[in-house]
Amino acid sequence: MSDTLLGAILAALAATSWATGAIFARIGMQHMGSTTGTFFSLITGFLLILVIALVLDYEAMFNVSVETISWFVLLAFIQFPLGRFLNFNGIKYAGVAPATAILGSTPVFSAILALIFLGEQITLMIGLGIVAVVIGLAMVLYRS
C-alpha cells in the first residue's frame, strides 16, 4: 500500500471519527449543558492522548519551557472554550447536520487568516473556492 493511499484512508477515518463524535455529543447533550458536556468530553480525550504521549514522547512530555507552556495556554483557550465549546453549542442548539456543515468551512477561515496575517496571495482558485463555500453555507442555513 502506498503512503498516499494510507494517508487517504487515515483521513477518511478522521472524518468518520469526528462525525461519530458529533452524533454522541448530540445524544449526550439532550440531558446536560454544553459547558459541562464539553468538560466531560475533554476528560476522556485527555486520558486517551496522555497515554499516547507517554508511550511516544515520555521525555518530551516533562521537558517543556515556560514559553512553550504559554503557547499551549493560548492554543487551549482558542481551541476549547472557543472552538470545541462553541462547536458543541452549535450541535446542541442547531443540530448535527447544520453545525458540522458550517464547521466544514474551517479551512476557509484558516486561508482568510493567512491572507490577512501571513500575507498569502489570493488566487483565482482560492477566490472561487471561498465563493462556493459561502453559497454552500447559505444553502445549508436556508430554512435549517
Partner 1 sequence: MITTNIKKQLYIGLASALAAAAAYGATQTIARFVVTSTAPASVSATWTIFFGMIFLLFMSLNNIKKDIKAPKKAFFMMGLAGIFSSFGVFFMFSALANAPVTVASPIGAINPLVAMALTHIFLQKLERVTINMVLGSILVLIGVTMVILGRFTV
Q: 44 to 83, contacts with partner 1 by CB under 8 A?
A: 44-46, 48-50, 52-53, 56-57, 60-61, 64-65, 67-69, 71-83
Q: Is 119 in the site for partner 1 (CB under 8 A)?
A: no
Min. distance of Cβ 73 from partner 1 in angstroms?
5
SS3 state of residue 142 = coil
Min. distance of Cβ 45 from partner 1 in angstroms?
4
Min. distance of Cβ 77 from partner 1 in angstroms?
6
Min. distance of Cβ 114 from partner 1 in angstroms?
7
C-alpha cell at 108: 476557509
- Cβ-based neighbours of 29, under 8 Å, separated by 6 or more: 37, 88, 91, 92
Q: Is 116 in the site for partner 1 (CB under 8 A)?
A: no
How far, in Å, CA of 102 to CA of 136, rounded?
9
Q: Is 21 in the site for partner 1 (CB under 8 A)?
A: yes
How far, in Å, CA of 48 to CA of 17, rounded?
14
C-alpha cell at 51: 497515554
